[in-house]
Structure 1
Amino acid sequence: MLYQLYETQRALMEPFAEYAHATSKMLSNPLWPISQTNTAQRASAGFDLFYRLGKDYEKPAFGITTIEANGHEIAIHERVELTKPFCELRRFKRFSDDQTSLAAMKQQPVVLVVAPLSGHYATLLRETVRTMLADHKVYITDWTNARLVPQTEGIFHLDDYVNYVQEFIRHIQGIYGNCHVVSVCQPTVPVLAAVSLMASRGEKTPLSMTMMGGPIDARKSPTTVNNLATTHDLQWFESNVIHPVPGNFPGAGRLVYPGFLQHMGFVSMNPDRHAMSHYDYFKDLLKGNEDSAEHHRKFYDEYNAVLDMDAAYYLETIKTVFQDFALVKGTWEVRSPEGNLELVKPQDIRHSALLTVEGELDDISGSGQTQAAHDLCTGLKAVDTRHFEVKGAGHYGIFSGKRWRTMVYPMLKDFILANNRIEDRPAGSVKSATSKQNTLHTV
């Protein structure tokens, strides 16, 4: 009922938001006689802010079409490699007709970036992907909004997440012979489980695992997120945050943790900061500071775009990761696609180097939670492990922004390169397309 009420309210607000947008544009139009008056400028800024607060935020695009690498412009083509009911594996394919750039890119490591399924879309890692494309072949998990998945596709469990990651790793290994995995926040736990299960079966595992700001052991330095999970039982979450998808979506009737409730939770963690940000945006509009205003728009276009999570996956994550601490206690069993229960044993990992990254000021995954992976991966030699704490960085600062670019990425790049063992690739893994004017090579 709550979800339906929210959708009704959103539908009622939509025409007013569009009206506010149109009015703002009209009042700021230089051809409008009163547009340069103080009253018109304040009214325009006010209507624009109302539009931003009232509009519906859809899934953003990655929008990565070119990058700079080795002094050359590299074209990027985004495409879907694999499609699963609840996720797409996306590849950012690089194109160049510069032979030097092509030769360098052919030798670069391939990386699977596992994006969080915790409210925001995978595009939250846009800057992570853009930065890594200069030195890596990059794939990413792009999770699907659960309200768009028909009930005929079944329920999505935490076990399915783990199995998806294994399938994606095998797919990339089948093309290149090897890969590296980078997980950011929530997926650190299922990624460690996926690699552990592959190791226990004697399968080839990724050359390296990088885990950034995730709740491997949520008992350490508990945050507000951790405390919410430990102070309420699972029945409370089922009763208060789980709702059926309304009938106007393909996933009608599916039980989900709605995106709008998650967004309310995000904002409630720092309400004063968000209020001040919107007020600063209003002032920037009055001053004509378009660069700062555009920065605000881009941030909130991403921040306000949220997706629904299948209820089973969400509740199982709460119980497994934040209440039972099953991974660190050695009690977590994952059901394989064949229906077999397999115990997750990180100590079986012996051939995947481990890097953990934490932000000194992270208020989502507290200090030590990610580093705890080293205590579990006892089968690795000390020379194959490394931990890095990013001074002055909060949660988002470890994968986007200045600290990511200047502190984290150079270290991550070197770590991956140091653990990259080039293997023969199957014929045809690198293709080229010829035109009359030039040869455009892809990697």
Structure 2
Amino acid sequence: MLYYFYEMNHAALAPWRAVADAGLNFWRNPANPLSGTQLGRSCAASIEMFERTTRRYGKPEFGITDTIVDDDLIAIEEQIALTKPFCKLLNFKKLIEGKQRPQHKLLIVAPMSGHYSTLLRGTVEAMLPHYDVSITDWVDARTVPALEGTFDLDDYVDYVAYFLRHLGPDTSVMAVCQPSVPVMAAVSLMNAAKDPCAPKTMILMGGPIDTRRNPTAVNNLAQEKGSDWFRNNVIMKVPAPHAGMMRDVYPGFLQLGGFMTMNLDRHLDAHRELFWHLVEGDGDSAEKHREFYDEYMSVMDLTAEFYLQTVEKVFVNHDLPKGTLTHRNALVDPSKITQTALMTIEGERDDISGVGQTQAAQDLCTNLAKDKKLHHLQQGVGHYGVFNGSRFRKEIVPRIVEFVNKNAHDRTASKPAAGGRAKTA
């Protein structure tokens, strides 16, 4: 019933939002002599705060129009390369005149954890100068009709393998946070099958490979509650009039509530600062706040079966590090990874995936040669800084590019090094 109350609340606030829009236009109208006064700015700031806290934030756009390759400004065209019921494969095509050497392809697998793939806009922008970039654009489950069937962890692994085969042999894959486990499963299965489209390199960033290492508050919550608690308390049916009505989902607004309460004081302070920036007429600071929270507050629903399986297999049972993870009744064995080079990246201050959780992937790839392994611990960054921000661009991206380029062009097979540990950057 909570989902229905959530929808009713939005409907009940619609008239008040219309009044707020009219009020905002009045107090910000240049023709209004009071718009530039302290009174005018205070009224406009109050109305905007009401509008922002009651708004339903839609899916943001990537909005990437160009990049720089070899000191040349290159136009970018966002294209839908593939469409499946629960995901679209987006490609950022470089509009280059004349014949150019094709770039190595990079598939970025965005997290399916409540936010849209546009959360990785900075990641895409940083990798575009170096590679032909594609990204998984997961679909809001409430918009997928129930007739399309279910989507679980096995389907997630299938989607990753399907996209890799579509992109072809000269491809690397990057998993940001949540998809680290299904991506590693897909790569393990493709290596075991000697699939020619198995990626050249796999980059796992801030992912929950083994949450028994340095567990965080998120990990402890899942461990304490268990999957049955989540099934009974956070799974709801999509109400009308959404296309996915009657589908069982984990609602995005619940996930957002969890994100907000983890750092509630910080978010309250940020909104208080926004109010005073608006009152003082500090447009630049206010715009930075708007850009961040327009993205942060945009959330999507997840299918119940995918969410519950992730909780159970990744956070409660630890199936992958224990060697019990299966995909459609076939055992997932990371020791079969021998051709795909592995790079793991963690943030020193990560409070979502603790230090050591992603590095655990290195220990699971027991038959991967030492020179095909690399671990990087980035000092001074939290979870978000692992894949975005200034330190990501200046310190992490160069190491990724160096590692990928080395292994993307290495056509020679390395000798296995059983139990070999990764080099540490």
Residue 55 of structure 2 corresponds to residue 30 of structure 1 = no
Distance 2:280 2:367 in 1: 59
Equivalent residue, structure 2, for 1:441: none
Residue 181 of structure 2 corresponds to residue 159 of structure 1 = no
Contact 2:65–2:76 (CA<8 Å) still a contact in 1? yes
Q: Deviations over 1:154-193 (max 9, x none)?
A: 11110000011001111101xxx32000000000000000
Equivalent residue, structure 2, for 1:397: 385
Q: Deviations over 1:259-314 (max 9, x none)?
A: 11111011010000000010111111122221111111111111000000000000
Contact 2:362–2:373 (CA<8 Å) still a contact in 1? yes
Q: Deviations over 1:188-247 (max 9, x none)?
A: 000000000111112132100000000000111111110110011222111110000002
**Alignment equivalent of 1:413, drawn from 390, 401, 425:** 401
SS of residue matched to 1:393: coil
Distance 1:14 1:260 in 2: 18
Equivalent residue, structure 2, for 1:334: 327
**CA 1:122–1:386 in 2, change beyond 3 Å: closer, same or farther?**
same
Normalising by structure 2, report the TM-score: 0.94
Distance 1:358 1:274 in 2: 24
Equivalent residue, structure 1, for 2:199: 206
**Alignment equivalent of 1:370, drawn from 346, 358, 376:** 358
Equivalent residue, structure 2, for 1:266: 259
Equivalent residue, structure 1, for 2:182: 190
Normalising by structure 1, report the TM-score: 0.90
Contact 1:66–1:75 (CA<8 Å) still a contact in 2? yes
**Alignment equivalent of 1:311, drawn from 285, 295, 304:** 304
Contact 2:58–2:298 (CA<8 Å) still a contact in 1? yes
Question: Displacement of 1:367 after TM fit?
Answer: 0.6
Distance 1:165 1:18 in 2: 43
**Alignment equivalent of 2:373, drawn from 381, 385, 389:** 385
Question: Displacement of 1:70 after TM fit?
Answer: 2.4
Residue 177 of structure 2 corresponds to residue 150 of structure 1 = no
Q: Deviations over 1:103-162 (max 9, x none)?
A: 3xx242110000000000000001111111111100100101001111111111100000
SS of residue matched to 1:410: helix
Matches within 5 A, 1:234-313: 234-313=227-306
Distance 2:22 2:373 in 1: 55
Poorly superposed stretches of 4+, deviation over 3 Å:
none
Indicate the RMSD between aligned Cα atoms, in angstroms. 1.3
SS of residue matched to 1:419: helix
Question: Displacement of 1:379 after TM fit?
Answer: 1.1
Gaps of 5+ in 1: 336-340, 424-443
Matches within 5 A, 1:104-115: 106-115=101-110
SS of residue matched to 2:408: coil
Question: Displacement of 1:80 after TM fit?
Answer: 1.0
Q: Which amino acid aligns with 1:230?
A: Q
Distance 2:151 2:224 in 1: 25
Residue 87 of structure 2 corresponds to residue 95 of structure 1 = no
Contact 1:14–1:55 (CA<8 Å) still a contact in 2? no
Q: Which amino acid aligns with 1:364?
A: I
Residue 357 of structure 2 corresponds to residue 355 of structure 1 = no
Question: Displacement of 1:84 after TM fit?
Answer: 1.0
Question: Displacement of 1:34 after TM fit?
Answer: 1.5
Q: Which amino acid aligns with 2:354?
A: G
Equivalent residue, structure 1, for 2:70: 70
Question: Displacement of 1:422 after TM fit?
Answer: 8.1
Distance 1:130 1:21 in 2: 34
Q: Which amino acid aligns with 1:311?
A: A
Equivalent residue, structure 2, for 1:343: 331
Equivalences, count? 410
Q: Which amino acid aligns with 2:183?
A: V
Equivalent residue, structure 2, for 1:232: 225
Residue 132 of structure 2 corresponds to residue 137 of structure 1 = yes
Contact 1:132–1:138 (CA<8 Å) still a contact in 2? yes
Distance 1:239 1:116 in 2: 24
Question: Displacement of 1:27 after TM fit?
Answer: 0.8
Residue 171 of structure 2 corresponds to residue 179 of structure 1 = yes
Residue 233 of structure 2 corresponds to residue 215 of structure 1 = no
**CA 1:73–1:226 in 2, change beyond 3 Å: closer, same or farther?**
same
Distance 1:421 1:72 in 2: 24
